[in-house]
């Protein structure tokens, strides 16, 4: 006699397979998102890889194999998010247990000269798009007791000059993640932040190209005020990108945040991230001098002492 499991027929048919664990990774076209999607797929997880273009979808599907299911997803487009949610909800063979909010852009340049449209674009992707995506998938994650992993940056702890827009969006993401972590605790949904330092990804070369286009359109008089400092910052950014850690290091931290029995609230990734966190905790005056020295910012002009005016006491007239 053949022992049957629940759901098996008397003829000895196998019961239906249990749904497999799935994770949605946004910004999976390149860099950290791409490395994360490939790493999770190789461990056996079904990965819904959010990409912006169909060509990227074809590439990651080819490289990731059958465990990668690409989705054309623009997190700044509400309809695109809704379509992605519908597609994942209809996949009856999987259970969504994780959301990795990785999609992001970097806008660089002096805050004085950045067009407001560029600043809004920075927040639309790095903050508002991330929050809207989280809102869309939270009902599913609440049911499954899933996890949310937000890819931030050490820039969300220490704002450097000329990347103030990017750092501001990451500071906002850090604050929202701290609030979400407590808000979702009663539902068993964990929220973790990934805080890498410099990473070898295309985000900074793309940012530099976009910034140059912005500054080329500015009047020479406005641009010349920051010319030397901008060139120095571009040189530092190129060095950081070359010396940065591989995105696979960050992907490993994301995997731990998703599947560790007790995930941490924050995962610092990279030696420079740890150094910059120490600098961030210094008194502001010391911190500012260190940051200015690193980026080659000119020293603060010395304040002139007010001239002393001699006042002669006059005797009142009789």
Instruction: Note the pLDDT tens digit of each residue in 168-180.
Output: 999 999 999 999 9
Which among 8-12, 88-92, 241-245 has the top mean pLDDT? 88-92
For residues 251-270, one letter each, b for 16 or more C-beta atoms within 10 angstroms of the residue's C-beta and e for the rest, the string is bbbbbebbbeeebeebbbbb
In a domain, 316, yes or no: no
Report the DSSP beta bridge partners of residue 190. Answer: 147
Q: Tell whether 312 is covered by a domain.
A: no
Q: Does some domain include residue 274?
A: yes
Query: Contacts for 56-63 with beta carbons within 8 Å, 24 or more apart?
Result: 56/28, 56/29, 56/30, 60/28, 60/29, 60/34, 63/38
H or E element at residue 196: strand 190-196
Structural domain containing residue 212: 20-295
Q: What is the pTM of this model?
A: 0.85
The mean pLDDT of 33-58, rounded to a whole number, is: 97
Asked if residue 56 is part of any domain, the answer here is: yes
Confidence of residue 88 (pLDDT cuts 50, 70, 90): very high
Query: Does 254 have pLDDT greater than 90?
Result: yes
Query: What span, in angstroms and rounded, lies between the C-alpha atoms of 134 and 216?
Result: 37
Per-residue pLDDT, 208: 64
- pLDDT value, residue 220: 74
User: Is 262 a member of any domain?
Assistant: yes
Q: Is residue 14 part of a domain?
A: no
Q: Count of alpha carbons within 13 Å of 286, Cβ hemisphere only?
A: 6
**CA atoms of 279 and 291, how far apart (whole Å):** 9
Residues in contact with 266: Cβ distance below 8 Å, sequence separation at least 6, in sequence order: 192, 193, 194, 195
**Integer Cα distance of 207 and 200 in angstroms:** 14
On whether residue 11 sits in a domain, the answer given is no
Q: Catalytic residue numbers?
A: 166
Please give the pLDDT value at position 231. Answer: 72
CATH number at residue 281: 3.40.50.720
> Which residues are within 8 A (CB) of 275 and not within 5 positions of it... i.e. 6 or more apart?
197
pLDDT, greater one: 239 or 201:
201
Distance of CA 17 to the CA centre of its chain: 35
Helices (H), the chain: 31-42, 54-64, 78-89, 116-123, 130-144, 164-183, 203-216, 220-224, 227-243, 247-259, 271-280, 284-295
Whole-angstrom CA distances from 303 to 13, 296, 306 are 86, 21, 9
pLDDT of residue 205: 66
Residue 262: DSSP 8-state? S
Residue 275: inside a domain: yes
> Looking at 31-45, 81-95, 166-180, 198-212, which range is the least confident one?
198-212
Number of domains comprising the chain? 1
């Amino acid at each position: 006699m053949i022992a049957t499991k629940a759901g098996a027929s008397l003829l000895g048919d196998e019961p239906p397979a249990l749904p497999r664990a799935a994770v949605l990774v946004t910004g999976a076209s390149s860099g950290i998102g791409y490395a994360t999607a490939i790493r999770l797929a190789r461990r056996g997880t079904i990965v819904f890889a959010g990409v912006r273009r169909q060509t990227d979808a074809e590439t990651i599907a080819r490289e990731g194999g059958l465990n990668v299911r690409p989705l054309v997803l623009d997190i700044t487009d509400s309809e695109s998010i809704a379509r992605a949610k519908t597609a994942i909800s209809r996949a009856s063979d999987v259970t969504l247990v994780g959301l990795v909010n990785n999609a992001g852009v970097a806008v660089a340049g002096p805050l004085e000269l950045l067009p407001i449209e560029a600043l809004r674009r920075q927040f639309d992707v790095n903050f508002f798009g991330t929050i809207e995506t989280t809102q869309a998938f939270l009902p599913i994650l609440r049911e499954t007791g899933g996890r949310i992993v937000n890819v931030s940056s050490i820039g969300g702890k220490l704002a450097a000059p000329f990347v103030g827009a990017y750092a501001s969006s990451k500071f906002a993401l850090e604050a929202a993640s701290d609030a979400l972590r407590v808000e979702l605790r009663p539902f068993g949904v964990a929220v973790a932040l990934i805080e890498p330092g410099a990473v070898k990804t295309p985000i900074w070369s793309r940012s530099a190209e976009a910034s140059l286009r912005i500054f080329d359109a500015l009047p020479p008089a406005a641009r010349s005020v920051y010319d030397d400092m901008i060139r120095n910052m571009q040189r530092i950014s190129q060095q950081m990108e070359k010396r940065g850690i591989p995105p696979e290091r960050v992907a490993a931290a994301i995997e731990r945040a998703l599947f560790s029995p007790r995930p941490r609230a924050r995962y610092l990734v990279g030696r420079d991230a740890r150094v910059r966190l120490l600098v961030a905790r210094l008194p502001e005056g010391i911190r500012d001098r260190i940051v200015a020295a690193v980026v080659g910012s000119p020293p603060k002009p010395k304040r002139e002492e007010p001239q002393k005016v001699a006042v002669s006491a006059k005797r009142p007239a009789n």
